[in-house]
Every structure is written in structure tokens, then in C-alpha cells.
Amino acid sequence: MDVLVTGASRGIGLELVRTYAARGDRAFAACREPGRADLPDGVRPVRLEVDDEASIEEAYGVAAAATAGLDLLVNNAGILDPHPVAPERRDSLQALGDLTFDDAIAVLRVNSIGPLMVAQRFMPLLRRGARLVNISSNAGSLSDKTSGGWYAYCASKAALNMVTRGLAADLADRGVIVVSVHPGWVRTDMGTAAADLPVEEAVSALVETVDRLGPEATGCFLDSDGSIHPW
């Protein structure tokens, strides 16, 4: 199986390419600075900035030269905020009164528009029956949103879920299965050490769910165990 994962220099993305490479799949690790990533042997680095069209085009060329098609594309790259966030600031992140156009647009550009543009460009490489997985979050669930703050991040993940619905419809004729997945609260740089799940456990569940995906799942928002998450 040929797999490309964005945001693969650390956290969930890095563990995904490690897992796929370890089981014998051909894994492409797409990230901003692949030379600085601790990638395992056999993983193919691809430089990619998901918020830059020229970088997406370059990454497509690298992947297309190395494989005739992808069986799995994981849009994992994402940011919580365009600025470093101190742990004590997280609870009030993107609070009403502190928002700026530039910061909000930067988050939406990476988390929502970037995955759409990656999917659009890499569409010719997606084999029939391929899976396109957008790493979303319960923060993007409208029904789960009962608190203030985190406006840009929450809106970006809700927008990503809408992108998933559109891609599922547009790619149905090609047999491509498109889903959004909430991986859980994971101990990564973004999730912090306070999170519930070690990255290895979260990725193991995610990989098992992706392996089981069938046509009936396309257009769905899933938890990492494959159950339906409320929109």
C-alpha cells in the first residue's frame, strides 16, 4: 500500500508513517522541513507546506515521480494557533476580544483550506478504492461546542468537516472513501502531556479504523474506533 501523510515530522503524523513503514507499506512523510524530522528508514520525505500552492505542486511532482498511485492520503497537518502558545494561555486561546483577522485566517488556511487544496492536487494519484482521511477534532463538532474561545481552531475543524462532505460527493465516482476522524486527545506538542492518550495508542486505533473503512463510511465524521461522531 502507498501512503502519504501530511504533517509527518512529529506527533500523530510521524507515528503514522512509522507504523505504515514498519508493516511494509510505502510511506511518504510530507512536512515543512523533512531534513529535520526523525524519519525511520524506508520512509520517503516530501517537503510540503499545506498553506502554499507552489509547495503543494512541488510535493505532488515528487510523489508522482515515485509512485503510480496512492492508496491512502492522510491530511494530518494542522496548527492550534499561528503563535507559540504557553500552557497557561491555552484555556483562553483565541478568546473573544483578542481575535485578529490575520491570526484567524492563518489557522483556517492551514487546517481547512490546505487539506482541500492538497486533496484537489493529489486527486489524480488516488487509486480507485483509495481512502482520504482528514484528521479533524471534536472541537469542530457543532453539537459539542458549549464553551467560548478557541474560535479559529474550532471553526477550522468544522470547516474541515464540511470539506470532507464535499470531497466525499465529488470523489464518489472514483470510488474514493473520504472521512473526517477525531483521533482523541493525544499526548503531542499540540495536545500537551495532560492529554488522555499516548500517541502510539491513538495511532494504533486510527490505523485499525482506516483499514476497516468501506464505501458506507464515506462522508462520515468518525471517532478513532470507527464509531460515528456527532457533527
pTM: 0.95
Average pLDDT, the chain: 93
pLDDT digits (tens, 9 = 90+) for 143-175: 999 999 999 999 999 999 999 999 999 999 999
Whether residue 123 has pLDDT greater than 90:
yes
Classify strands 177-182 and 126-135 as parallel, antiparallel or unpaired.
parallel
Domains and CATH numbers, the chain: 2-223 (3.40.50.720)
153 noted as active-site residue: yes
Catalytic member of 20, 60, 151, 153: 153
At 194, the pLDDT band (50, 70, 90 cuts) reads low
Q: How far is CA 131 from CA 40, 186, 218, 224, in A?
A: 23, 23, 9, 15
DSSP string for residues in 184-211 = -SB-STTT-TTSSB-HHHHHHHHHHHHH
Contact 39, 29 (CB under 8 A): yes
pLDDT for residue 191: 59
Dihedral pair phi/psi, residue 8, rounded to 5° = -100, 20
What pLDDT is stored for residue 186 in this prediction? 66
What cell was used for 83? Answer: 503563535
Per-residue pLDDT band at 190 (split at 50, 70, 90): low
